[in-house]
Amino acid sequence: MFVNRKAPHGTIYALEALEVVLISAAFDQDVSLAFLDDGVLQLRQGQNANAIEMKNFAPTYRALEGYDIEKLYVERESLEERGMSSDDLVVPVEVVDRNRMSELMQGQDVIMSF
Amino acid sequence: MLHTVNKSPLQTRDLDSCLAHLGDGRLLLIEDGVYAALAAAPSASQLADAAAAGRVYALGPDMEARGLAADHLAANIQVVDYQGVVQLVIDHGPHQAWV
Amino acid sequence: MQFAILVNEAPYQHQASDSAYHFAKAALEMGHSVPRVFFYMDGVHNANRLQEPQQDDRNIVRRWSQLAEEHDVDLVVCVAAALRRGIKDEILAPGFRISGLGQLVEVGIQADRLVTFGD
């Protein structure tokens, strides 16, 4: 599982986490992505980083399905704390509550956190 | 699961988020995270239940580096050295870093 | 037991690479193995042999090289992160090599545990 807890653009973590996710697709593993805390902001619609000359990588989350990476979990409480709902995201996800997210983490063999 | 927090709880919310997902996992405080173990910190009460259950640890070398002695710690927090950390990863892995 | 280690921060600015080193050393002293340490993002600066810390400070880069030599630890630097930061083959410290992110994913799967050190 890849755990994403940081907002995009301010630091490189979100972008680099996505790079590892894409590589992991080649390893035939049961990959899942968790978005919580500021990590949910990575999926926010309407991002445009042209004026700061940085990469617009949000659309790449939509391409994950093509790599058979379909388990995207987003924490409900984290969305609500930021005034967001699943309608504000660039890609369809499974919204889960905090307890469910905790259970999902506990079921993993390997966790990479960014 | 073994969770690590490496930030002061007075600086970021990583500890709060970790505790909200801790379940029956273990928490290890390292680097600036050891400040969360201070009896005087607001975090002490948040940690109390997990600590009483013997599930909270702090890295001794990082405490010493920051002038934190064992008697500054909140109750029931266990101090470990690096080999103790390795053992925690073995006994309670996988590792989730709340970085 | 086999421990894979991921280091995401540069040396000296952040304690992450120190913590990773002390963890690796302790694991090896206990008779475990550390097949690979993967350096990602600013962590790639750990591989730069041109660094000259002051005499009274620890030499983080040399410490990694010694660990690699004494315990056969594979020190892998992410190629994209490295080239972006000017870390190239000609300035790599002994024991380090540049390769792809697949090396991180692979060791994460193969090792018993993956331990992450970052900001």
Chain B closest CA to C56's CA: distance in Å? 17
For tokens 């892995």, name the residue. B93
So what's the pLDDT on residue B13? 96
Mean of pLDDT values over B82-89:
98
List, for residues B62-78, the tens digit of each pLDDT value. Answer: 999 999 998 999 999 99
Which chain A residue's Cα is nearest to B26?
A106
Give the per-residue SS3 of B76-90. Answer: CCEEECHHHHHHHHH
Task: Look up the CATH number of the domain holding residue B28.
Answer: 3.40.1260.10
Which positions in chain C touch B81 (Cβ < 8 Å)?
A: 26
Mean of pLDDT values over A74-103:
98
Overall domain count for chain B = 1
Give the domains, in start order, of chain C with CATH numbers: 2-117 (3.40.1260.10)
Q: Which two tokens stand for residue C74?
A: 């594979």
- Alpha-carbon radius of gyration of chain B: 12
On average, the pLDDT of chain C sits at 98
Identify the domain containing residue B25 by its residue range: 2-97
Do B31 and C15 lie within an 8 Å CB cutoff? yes
Chain A closest CA to B13's CA: distance in Å? 9
Residues of C with CB under 8 A from a CB of A: 6, 8, 40-41, 80-81, 100-102, 104-106, 108-109, 114, 116, 118
- Rounded to whole angstroms, the maximal C-alpha distance in chain C is 40
Residue type, position A1, single letter: M
Mean of pLDDT values over B51-71:
97
- Catalytically active residues of C are 78
Chain A closest CA to C56's CA: distance in Å? 32
List, in order, residues 6 or more apart from A39 with CB less than 8 Å away. Answer: A3, A4, A5, A6, A7, A14, A78
Which stretches of chain C are DSSP H helices?
16-29, 60-71, 79-84, 102-110
List, for residues C41-62, the tens digit of each pLDDT value. Answer: 999 999 999 999 999 999 999 9
Mutate to test the interface with A, among C5, C39, C41, C114 (most CBs of A within 10 A): C41
List, for residues A20-57, the tens digit of each pLDDT value. Answer: 999 999 999 999 999 999 999 999 999 999 999 999 99
Tell me how far CA of residue A82 lies from CA of A79, A86, B47, in angstroms: 5, 12, 26
